[in-house]
Chains A and B, each alone.
Chain A
């Protein structure tokens, strides 16, 4: 296949998922400018390694590259943020069922939810984006993040609990609502 055919195929199979690529980059990087840099770099890398794409879910494949590109970028540009790593113990959430206010979550406005997601550690944030926004399966996320499927499930559960807790906090009686 010559370069032009390769690009055409790339445009047909991978570029339709550029929105997903940018969305993940944006949630990970936290601002438009850095997200554009990461997504652009990821797009170029994806084309470079397009030969290694063996069919299947092109979106999951592209998102894998976005994620790797982001962590490389992070190491270079904000090394402090990855120094600590994820302290899973500290983030353990008691397994109590949610209080009644949680029922109002669907009423939470976008800005509030956005802030709550932004405050999650990056390892949890990416799970929320990949599962809830991109609809990837546990298996796809496990492959993408190179962790066991059990880790995906336990982290996802904790990410949700943290999110619920923070959002519920916003809606305490006498709170912001």
Chain B
């Protein structure tokens, strides 16, 4: 190898872009040629100068903290557009299912209290709480912990009742967003099944628990009491879910807003 051949290879060699065979040839040339060897040392010197400690800016702790906080907030409250793009939801929302839900709800309530719109929303909220594994903002089996937790977070006080003795233990609650408003979501369990109970105030007469629909394996039961509308959503079988609704409506001490 002569200087003309070696010269263009020096940079490639310094950047680790030269294959082994030619690297060996170049190294032999550098041992013999002081001009090329000097160019090689200059380049090395430059690389060392640029790579020296103190020229690298590691991420400030503050940046890492802020970014993580923002990402966690985002994943806790997925944007509506994301929700609709989920495969399971588009399946759940598609065709016949929607029509059935809508017809059923409309036939149950003469005045459709946005139920045709709310039922899919409630089911999707329920599923989301399971999928994202963030069903709970407050984790407690104690109704006296869960109820005060909503203070200052909602403009009403949801009735909170533990049905542990009926084998529907309360496991916690969270804030949710349904029908364009903040609502209380209480979470109960029966065996491995999770029950979401959505509650918010309405101006409508009391009604008995009614099974609204079963969609994609989820059941929705609705009732109203003491100025509150309550919606139980679960994959639990309809009989047991109705049991839950009757226990809850029968024994809950409802407080007006």
Contacts and interface: CB of A to CB of B under 8 A. Distances in A.
Contact of A160 (B41, B46, B74): B46
Contacts of A105: 42, 45-46, 48-49
The main secondary structure of chain B at its interface with chain A is helix
Contacts of A44: 67, 70-71, 74
Contacts of B70: 40, 44
Interface string A99-125: 000111110101001100100000000
Interface in B50-79: 50-60, 62-64, 66-68, 70-72, 74-75, 78
A103 B63 contact: no
A163 B49 CA distance: 10
A169 B163 CA distance: 82
The main secondary structure of chain A at its interface with chain B is helix
Contact of B57 (A11, A23, A40, A132): A23
Given A10-B71, A105-B42, A133-B51, A39 B17 contact: no
A164 interface: yes
B132 interface: yes
A11 B70 CA distance: 13
Interface string B68-109: 101110110010001000000000000000000000000000
Given A4-B133, A102-B45, A138-B17, A36 B62 contact: yes
Interface residues of A, number: 48
B50 A103 contact: no
A44 B44 CA distance: 37
Interface string B24-59: 000000000001001101111111111111111111
Contact of B74 (A11, A26, A47): A47
Contacts, number: 122
Interface in A67-107: 97-98, 102-106
Contacts of B75: 3-4, 6-7
Given A44-B74, A106-B44, A108-B49, 10 more contacts: A3-B78, A19-B56, A32-B60, A40-B66, A40-B70, A97-B42, A106-B49, A110-B54, A113-B52, A160-B43
14 contacts: A2-B132, A3-B132, A7-B75, A18-B63, A47-B71, A97-B39, A98-B38, A105-B46, A113-B55, A114-B55, A137-B15, A137-B16, A153-B11, A156-B15
Instruction: List 9 A-B pairs, minimum CB-CB distance, nearest first.
Output: A22-B59, A105-B45, A3-B75, A26-B57, A110-B54, A106-B45, A132-B50, A18-B59, A43-B67
Interface of A: 2-4, 6-7, 10-11, 15, 18-19, 21-23, 26-27, 32, 35-36, 39-40, 43-44, 47, 97-98, 102-106, 108, 110, 113-114, 117, 128, 131-133, 137-138, 153, 156-157, 160, 163-164, 167
